[in-house]
Chain A
Amino acid sequence: AQSVTQPDIHITVSEGASLELRCNYSYGATPYLFWYVQSPGQGLQLLLKYFSGDTLVQGIKGFEAEFKRSQSSFNLRKPSVHWSDAAEYFCAVGAPTNAGKSTFGDGTTLTVKP
């Protein structure tokens, strides 16, 4: 069975500081990996995805993530955080089969200090 762990429930960073959100997954084969962002009262929006190939993937809003198979990790990074990045972030693992089902982590809430 696949699973996702986001160890940090809540992270606070200052505006302009760098950000790293952690994600560890459990999956038998090469997974499909995703990061989504959810602003208050909204649905989830895809930030980036990894299917195969280059292990460093670029996403929208200046985010990137690195797939590390040896560590079963897919951490999300941003070099300089903006106040508008305050939101909840979800890591998810999926598969090419299984009807597109994904397993989501419990989320990390990001607070940005001015």
Chain B
Amino acid sequence: DVKVTQSSRYLVKRTGEKVFLECVQDMDHENMFWYRQDPGLGLRLIYFSYDVKMKEKGDIPEGYSVSREKKERFSLILESASTNQTSMYLCASALGGQPQHFGDGTRLSIL
């Protein structure tokens, strides 16, 4: 069964810090995604990657960057964390147009 693992379930950081959220999948999927989820706003796509070192902006990329140096790992980076980036972050992977497989999420608080 596909496993998508996010490095932290809960994370607390301070304003201005550089924050790294890590995601690893074990099924050789070429596509990986980062979403943030906020009450009443559903899932919003931040960035996605369709191959190693390839990335595209999603709907809300501002304040974020990503890195995909290996196929199984997709990192989300908050360059300078701000309080409005407090949210639940979900990582997902998929093979082609197949359904996405999600990690359990990282609840990030920026103080």
Chain A contacts to B: CB under 8 angstroms: 9, 32, 34, 36, 41-46, 49, 90, 94-102, 104-107
Q: State the CA gap A49–B107 with chains docked (Å).
A: 28
Task: Select from chain A the residue with minimum beta-carbon distance to B10.
Answer: A41
Q: State the CA gap A34–B97 with chains docked (Å).
A: 11
Contact B102–A44 (Cβ < 8 Å): yes
Known: A43-B102, A99-B50, A100-B98. A106 touches B42 (CB 8 A): yes
Contact B105–A42 (Cβ < 8 Å): yes
Query: A-B contact count, CB below 8 Å?
Result: 59
Contact B45–A101 (Cβ < 8 Å): yes
Q: State the CA gap A43–B43 with chains docked (Å).
A: 11
Task: Select from chain B the residue with minimum beta-carbon distance to A49.
Answer: B99
User: In angstroms, how far is the closest chain A Cβ from the Cβ of B31?
Assistant: 4
Known: A41-B105, A45-B102. A105 touches B42 (CB 8 A): yes
